[in-house]
């Protein structure tokens, strides 16, 4: 299936932002949650098609809520189109990695890539990554949900690079 029409807000100078990229996502609720995460933190989201659902799916709308209109989402019809359009390093999150995300030095222009919930990414995508990272888990645990992984890793990456948005609040 192809992802349906998705409204998105264009952000100026998009090459200077850290990004989250989803490779052929197949669970709309996870995609909606990641789009909401990106909208709240000011992190653009790339969707690499084909997707396993339509953007009109109720699960995507429910998870993304009204944040879908605030998000900067770019859809790419294929992996090759994404590669041609991207700037910055590709940082693949994978259970097969040796390096833990917290031991990695992120850059503000990195693209955090997450694979399909059902199958991850194929070998050619794995090989194209500039770095492969994992979230350390207990030995008996298989993996985290991709939306959880995105939140954990983008939080650390933004912390390292000073990329969190200013929220105007003061702490007394």
What is the residue whose two structure tokens read 């995105």?
Answer: 150
Using DSSP, state whether 21 is helix, strand or coil: strand
Is residue 145 domain-resident?
yes
Burial class of residue 59 (count of CB atoms within 10 Å of its CB; 0-12, 13-18, 19+): middle
What is residue 81's predicted lDDT score, i.e. its pLDDT?
97
CA distances, 98 to each of 4, 101, 117, 136 (Å): 36, 10, 20, 9
Is residue 75 domain-resident?
yes
Q: Which of 112, 116, 119 is nearest to 158 (CA)?
A: 112
Domain hosting 41: range is 14-161
Is residue 72 domain-resident?
yes
Is residue 171 domain-resident?
no
What is residue 10's predicted lDDT score, i.e. its pLDDT?
40
Split into its structural domains, the chain has a count of: 1
Alpha-carbon distance of 168 to 68, in angstroms, equals 23
Is residue 26 domain-resident?
yes
What is residue 65's predicted lDDT score, i.e. its pLDDT?
60
CA distances, 65 to each of 23, 50, 60, 169 (Å): 22, 22, 8, 24
Is residue 24 domain-resident?
yes
Q: What is the pTM of this model?
A: 0.86
Report the CATH number at residue 109: 3.40.1280.10
% of the chain residues with pLDDT over 90: 62
- The answer to whether the beta carbons of residues 72 and 8 sit under 8 Å apart is yes
Is residue 172 domain-resident?
no
pLDDT in tens, 75-116: 899 999 999 999 899 999 999 999 999 999 999 999 999 999
Is residue 128 domain-resident?
yes
More confident call, 7 vs 148? 148
């Amino acid at each position: 299936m192809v992802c349906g029409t998705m409204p998105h807000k264009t952000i100026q100078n998009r090459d200077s932002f850290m990004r989250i990229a989803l490779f052929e996502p197949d669970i709309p609720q996870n995609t909606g949650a990641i789009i909401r995460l990106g909208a709240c933190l000011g992190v653009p989201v790339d969707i690499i098609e084909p997707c396993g659902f339509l953007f009109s799916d109720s699960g995507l709308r429910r998870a993304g809520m009204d944040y879908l209109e605030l998000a900067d989402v770019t859809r790419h019809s294929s992996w090759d189109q994404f590669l041609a359009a991207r700037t910055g390093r590709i940082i693949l999150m994978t259970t097969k990695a040796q390096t833990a995300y917290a031991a990695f030095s992120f850059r503000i222009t990195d693209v955090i890539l997450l694979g399909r919930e059902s199958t991850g990414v194929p070998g050619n995508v794995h090989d194209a990554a500039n770095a492969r990272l994992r979230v350390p888990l207990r030995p008996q645990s298989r993996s985290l949900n991709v939306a959880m992984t995105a939140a954990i890793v983008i939080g650390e990456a933004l912390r390292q690079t000073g990329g969190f948005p200013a929220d105007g609040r003061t702490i007394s």
